[in-house]
Amino acid sequence: MTGSVDATLDAASRARSAPARTTWPLAAVAGAFTLAQLLLVPPGMGLGWDETVYVSQVGDHAPAAFFSAPRARGVSLLVAPVASWSSSTALLRLYLALLSGLALFAALRAWRGLFPARVLALAGGLFASLWVTLFYGPQAMPNLWVALGALAAVGCFLRARTARTALWGLAAGAALMAWMRPVDAVWATLPLFAAGLARRRWRALLVLSAGLAAGAVQWVAEAYTSYGGLARRLADGSAIQGGLGWHLAVVDHLRALGGRTLCRPCSGALPHPLLTVWWFALPLLAALAVAVAIRARRPAATLLPLGCAATAAFPYLFLIGYAAPRFLLPAYALLAVPLADVLARPLTGRRPVVRALVCAGLAAHLAAQLAVAVRTTENTVGAREAWADTVAALHHRGVRPPCLLTGHEAIPVAYAAGCASAATAGPNADTTPDAIARTARRMPVAALVPAGAAPPGYARGWTSAAVGTVRLYYVVPGAGS
């Protein structure tokens, strides 16, 4: 009897310690991800163009920037707890770094029971160590959040049959994706719908659909109230992105791997092979992952994330005529788990030569990613410091709130200066030259023009001054300009 009781107590102890053994490696990876962001991205790095659009919707530092058709309000709501009462970029970066670390932990934990803890920790490390993941972790951008939502949703979908609580995670992951980018959420979940229909998993399909609907309802409603209907909003979004159609953008994405945050137009030489070799290894590792999964008789846990990664990447590789590395973050997140399953085997195997080769390869890959991350961050900080110089020049010349900025990079500069922004052409067009001229009669207005370019017609008679790589054309009513 005593032996039976001891065995029961030992079993209960092991059951209680199992979650801890799974949780701590994932928490360590998530914590390292947050710390790496804080060390890499300067807290005071100014807001980028897209960040400005999202943050300005909820902040009171400056008037809200034009919100174009493809965008969704998810990022604005995500940053609202900080941006609604503080204009501190450092505080916003800290908040997003902590939040993204917690979200990575939750997304990895959604896979518990499907793969060993060491595989999930390695998957988190593979994804979190990419330069594009580190760079965008503390930024107010949607793609990383789509990636983490997709990772959580797929893991919960796979577990939903045996763990009813996973249905809540499936709904939350789907809602997060649709909240950030509704169209991307549809692409990423197509294999889930196919698998659910094939296996007649009606409960999971209902929860998945409800999550997507909950996340997208505001975007759809706004399409009818502000964009002339859903079809019109989709068409406008396509036009802004250059027209959706057959575009082979694979080489563009290869060029962007060297640290180009936006490759549009995308020309020039490919980056050093050390920066692109991992990309060419992805298909091979994916094929090995499928072979391993079939041998282990658990193909669904590998095939489903690989399928979702493929559909998530498809529009950005083949339907859009330009590239940005952040577009493929959902695909990278979904690839991470099955690829980690392949790489973890030699790392824990009994062949020291193979283990040493894999470790050396991972170390070289990590070093290359960190080098690109550092260089990209330095270039970005330099560009945004130039914007700060332009803001200082505007204020010095009397262009202070309330004011209006137009022209080259007007949106981020205007927000930093506390001004409104406007455009007469391009994807952010929201006014006319006559309207700008009328505004200039009652408040300070400035046009930012690249050095050597001609000013717009309405600004030809305004005072001008060179500031860095731009020339300011400005008028300050009542100041004799």
Q: Which residue from 303, 295, 341 is spatially nearest to 115, judged by alpha carbons?
A: 341
Please, are residues 140 and 32 in contact by the beta-carbon 8 Å criterion? no
| pLDDT at residue 20 in the model | 61
Question: Which residues of the chain, if any, have pLDDT below 70?
Answer: 1-20, 349, 480-481
Neighbours of 175 (CB within 10 A): 22
Q: Which string of DSSP letters, residue by residue, matches 413-474?
A: HHHHHT-EEE-SSSTT----HHHHHHHTTTS-EEEEEETTSPPPGGGTTSEEEEETTEEEEE
Helices vs. strands in the chain: H and E counts, helices first = 18, 5
Question: What is the model's pTM?
Answer: 0.93
Predicted confidence at residue 161, as pLDDT, reads 87
Q: What is the pLDDT of residue 346?
A: 82
- What are the domain boundaries of the chain? 21-348, 385-475
Query: According to the model, what pLDDT value does residue 71 have?
Result: 96
Instruction: For residue 57, give Cα distances in angstroms to 26, 80, 143, 272, 412.
Output: 34, 9, 18, 40, 13
Residue 8 confidence (pLDDT): 32
* 173-231 confidence digits (pLDDT tens): 999 999 999 999 999 999 999 999 999 999 999 999 999 999 999 999 999 999 999 99
